[in-house]
Amino acid sequence: MKPSSSLSFHLLLLLLLPQLLMAEYAGGPYQKAPDDDGDKLDKHYYARSCPSFEAIVGSKIAHWHSVDPTLSPGLIRLHFHDCAVRGCDASILLDNPGGERRSPVSATLRGFHVIDDIKAEIERRCPKTVSCADILVAAARDATLMVGGPYWGNVYGRRDGRVSIAQQAEALPKGRESITHLIDFFESMGLDILDLVVLSGAHTVGRATCQSIQYRLYNYTGVPSKSDPSINPRYLNYLKRKCRWPSAYVDLDATTPTKFDNAYYRNLDNRMGLLSTDQLLHSDSRTGPLVAALSSQPMVFVHQFARSMKNLADTMVLEGDEGEIRTNCNFVNEY
Ligand code: HEM
């Protein structure tokens, strides 16, 4: 599909979604069987081999969220970083020199200890059965629920990869890219423009280090004391006060930072996107109309987020002999 026709298709879809949603909740024709896309992942994959898998993940995520609620956004991001490099194969968890986890792009990733804790409990109950890749998928879904986002049914059966290369993680978007670059990057993962705009809405929760946006505040494009003119002046003042050190944190969603809602898109209308890539989604002609639709229809965002997260979790999945079930998520098996 050409970009312009693909955009009108997505816009039409978004505009019609409220009606389609009603049909879906009424059990209407819009309902798509989860497994009718031909892959071998299955919602009942662990039904016999580890029936308590999802219950263990759910209770562990609830526990860690109560200890530190900021871990939940961290887990959603961890899942994205896993799937975006070599597919959803838990390669991000491998803790070897030269691996993705040791790349500078991964420096602020969080939640590794939560995955380790879940894996340890699952190995006690169902040894050598559940992949770390599936644990990440389930953990990201339950972390989304913890911050007030939607529930969706996952399919499972992914295998864990044996390869992790730091240099490949460098390709992950860092917040300074063009929209064309982001569209191409998402396309390389099998995701489309709608997925890009909707999944960027994950920035409705969580935080960034000031280092990631310092270049927008000072010496923008190399001009001393210049700031990115696309930032709302009052928001710019706030950011300058908040970001006195590169290691300080600032909320990705300036208005409702801990709540999963569509305020992220409404902030873009007010030129209050934290990352330049966030704000560009609003101004670019290919993504702007989708931002406008999502900022005016909160339920559409919530519903489409669940769909796009399922698409994300389908990225280049390993099955059967292509991968293994790691016993420790941090290392490949030795036997
Ligand atoms: C579209 C391209 C994307 C770019 C350029 C991007 C960039 C970033 C950056 C720069 C940060 C802050 C890193 C730091 O300074 O510590 C961040 C945080 C975050 N990102 Fe993204 N991201 C993108 C897509 C996504 C997607 C698809 C998801 C999930 C589905 C996601 C979820 C998150 C979350 C939840 C955080 C906050 C993490 C925390 O609080 O620890 N991002 N992102």
| pLDDT by position in tens, the chain (length 335) | 555 556 666 666 666 565 555 444 443 332 333 444 445 899 999 999 999 999 999 999 999 999 999 999 999 999 999 999 999 999 999 999 999 999 999 999 999 999 999 999 999 999 999 999 999 999 999 999 999 999 999 999 999 999 999 999 999 999 999 999 999 999 999 999 999 999 999 999 999 999 999 999 999 999 999 999 999 999 999 999 999 999 999 999 999 999 999 999 999 999 999 999 999 999 999 999 999 999 999 999 999 999 999 999 999 999 999 999 999 999 999 87
Ligand 1 contact via 74 beta carbon (within 6 Å): yes
Q: What is the pTM of this model?
A: 0.92
Ligand 1 contact via 329 beta carbon (within 6 Å): no
Cα 206 to middle of ligand 1, angstroms: 8
Token code pair at residue 18: 């409220």
Q: From CA 118, how far away is CA 123, in angstroms rounded? A: 9
- Our CA dihedral for 42, 82, 149, 216, rounded to 10 degrees, sits at -160
pLDDT recorded at residue 248: 98
Question: What are the beta bridge partners of residue 156?
Answer: 42
Ligand 1 contact via 213 beta carbon (within 6 Å): no
CATH topology of domain 179-310: Peroxidase; domain 2 (1.10.420)
pLDDT recorded at residue 36: 42
pLDDT recorded at residue 11: 66
Q: H helices within the chain, ranges in order?
A: 3-25, 53-67, 71-84, 112-125, 132-146, 166-169, 179-188, 193-200, 214-217, 233-242, 263-269, 276-283, 288-296, 298-312
Q: From CA 57, how far away is CA 116, in angstroms rounded? A: 11
Contact 314, 190 (CB under 8 A): yes
Residue nearest to atom 17 of ligand 1 (CA): 208
Contact 255, 266 (CB under 8 A): yes
Q: What is the CA radius of gyration of the chain?
A: 20
Cα 274 to middle of ligand 1, angstroms: 11
Q: From CA 278, how far away is CA 274, in angstroms rounded? A: 7
pLDDT recorded at residue 10: 66
Question: What are the beta bridge partners of residue 207?
Answer: 251
Ligand 1 contact via 208 beta carbon (within 6 Å): yes
Cα 79 to middle of ligand 1, angstroms: 11
pLDDT recorded at residue 202: 98
Nearest to 149 by CA among 216, 204, 75, 71: 204
Contact 78, 140 (CB under 8 A): yes
Cα 311 to middle of ligand 1, angstroms: 17
CATH topology of domain 39-172+313-322: Peroxidase; domain 1 (1.10.520)
Question: What are the beta bridge partners of residue 324?
Answer: 160
Q: Where are the domains of the chain?
A: 39-172+313-322, 179-310
Angle at 307 between CA 253 and CA 320, to 5 degrees: 120
Contact 313, 39 (CB under 8 A): no
3-state secondary structure of 322: helix
Ligand 1 contact via 174 beta carbon (within 6 Å): yes
pLDDT recorded at residue 299: 96
Ligand 1 contact via 206 beta carbon (within 6 Å): yes
Catalytic residue, chosen from 81, 203, 282, 303, is 81
Cα 171 to middle of ligand 1, angstroms: 14
Ligand 1 contact via 158 beta carbon (within 6 Å): no
pLDDT recorded at residue 323: 97
203 is catalytic: no
Q: Cβ atoms within 10 A of the Cβ of 280, count?
A: 20
One fold for 39-172+313-322 and 179-310: no
Q: Residue 209: which H helix or E strand, with range? A: strand 207-209
Q: Ligand 1 atom closest to Cα of 212? A: 15
Task: Pick from 71, 77, 196, 280 the residue to mutate for probing ligand 1's pocket: most ligand atoms within 8 Å of its CB.
Answer: 77
Contact 181, 287 (CB under 8 A): no
pLDDT recorded at residue 24: 46
